[in-house]
């Protein structure tokens, strides 16, 4: 029988950087690691790739298990494969970033795992190379979000322009002019204005919008340029 004789075999894992938005700040979801080494230290959500699943499958499984959510926006970043990145045994990890509606998560909290949202800039030190993964994920999120309409994935079905505005500023860590932002975002044709207003933030209230799902599906790959003076 044919075989690949004496080639080394490795563990393969996935790690997910889960982003959320609480209306004011960008956050990431971390868990306390449940196995040695570094047990009880904060880490990304991850797990080993099982024998009958692809890495993408594994990432979805891990997210489902730890957040209860399915069909989450998930994007493969890169593989982390330095020989010594895991001190116990050689493990290669496929890094993903996920965008979830933070409110959906809170409704489905899974008590089996000690998970907690952290402000992106006030997160604890993480194990292994997970700090690097987070840095890479932020960069990739910024890059992608400047060109593709993906940040909607972090907002509820009904959202306001000011909410979207703050989210873009958070992700890009920059100020964006209200008028120019509003013009750009509406000119995409992706937004449908609703009659209802969100009165929680101001006396006047801000109109809710929803995504035009058809156009969103068609334009998910389309180029936009939503962030001025973008530095990548």
Partner DNA sequence: AATATTAATTGTCTTTTTGACAATTAATAT
Partner DNA sequence: ATATTAATTGTCAAAAAGACAATTAATATT
Which residues contact DNA (rule: CB under 7 A)? 160-162, 177-180, 182-184, 197, 199, 201-207, 225, 228-229
Using CB under 8 A as the binding rule, whether residue 54 contacts its own copies is answered as yes
173 near its own copies, rule: CB under 8 A: no
What is the nearest approach in angstroms of its own copies to the Cβ of residue 133?
14
Q: How far is CA 226 from CA 3, 4, 93, 172, 186, in A?
A: 51, 49, 32, 10, 11
- Give the nearest distance from C-beta 151 to its own copies in angstroms: 18
Q: How many CB atoms lie within 10 A of CB 24?
A: 11
Q: State how far the Cα of 7 lies from the Cα of 157, in Å rounded to an integer.
A: 49
Binders of its own copies in range 87-126 (CB under 8 A): 88-92, 94
CB 232, CB 142: distance < 8 Å:
yes
- CB 136, CB 77: distance < 8 Å: yes
Phi–psi pair at 143, nearest 5 degrees: -60, -55
Cβ distance to DNA smaller for residue 120 or 176: 176
DSSP-assigned letter for residue 47: E
CB of 182 to DNA, least distance (A): 4
Instruction: Look at phi and psi of residue 229 and say left if phi exceeds 0, alpha if psi is from -120 to 50, else beta.
Output: left
53 forms part of the interface with its own copies (CB under 8 A): yes
Q: Spell 28-54 as b/e; 16+ CB within 10 A means b.
A: bbbbebeeeebeeebbbbbbebeeeee
Options 24, 65, 68, 78; binder of its own copies; rule CB under 8 A? 78
Q: For the window 182-221, what string marks contact with its own copies as x by the rule CB under 8 A?
A: ---------------------------------------x
Active site residue ranges: 114
For the CA atoms of the chain, what is the radius of gyration?
Answer: 20
What, of DNA, its own copies, none, does residue 36 touch, CB below 5 to 8 Å by kind? its own copies
Name the residues that contact its own copies, by CB under 8 A: 2-4, 7-12, 35-37, 48-56, 76, 78-79, 81-83, 88-92, 94, 221-223, 230, 232
């Amino acid at each position: 029988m044919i075989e690949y004789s004496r080639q080394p075999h490795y563990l393969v894992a996935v790690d997910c950087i889960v982003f959320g938005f609480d209306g004011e700040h960008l956050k990431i979801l971390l868990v306390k690691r449940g196995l040695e080494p570094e047990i009880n230290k904060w880490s990304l959500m991850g797990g080993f790739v099982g024998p009958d699943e692809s890495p993408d499958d594994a990432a979805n499984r891990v997210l489902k298990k730890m957040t209860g959510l399915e069909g989450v926006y998930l994007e493969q970043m890169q593989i982390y494969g330095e020989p010594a990145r895991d001190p116990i045994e050689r493990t290669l990890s496929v890094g993903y970033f996920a965008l979830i509606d933070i409110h959906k998560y809170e409704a489905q909290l899974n008590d089996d795992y000690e998970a907690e949202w952290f402000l992106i800039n006030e997160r604890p030190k993480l194990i292994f190379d997970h700090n690097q993964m987070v840095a890479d994920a932020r960069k990739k999120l910024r890059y992608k979000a400047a060109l593709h309409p993906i940040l909607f994935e972090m907002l509820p079905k009904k959202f306001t322009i000011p909410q979207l505005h703050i989210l873009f500023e958070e992700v890009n860590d920059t100020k964006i002019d209200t008028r120019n932002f509003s013009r750009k975002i509406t000119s995409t044709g992706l937004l449908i204005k609703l009659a209802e207003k969100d009165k929680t933030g101001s006396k006047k209230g801000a109109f809710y919008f929803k995504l035009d799902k058809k156009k969103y599906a068609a334009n998910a790959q389309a180029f936009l340029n939503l962030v001025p003076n973008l530095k990548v």
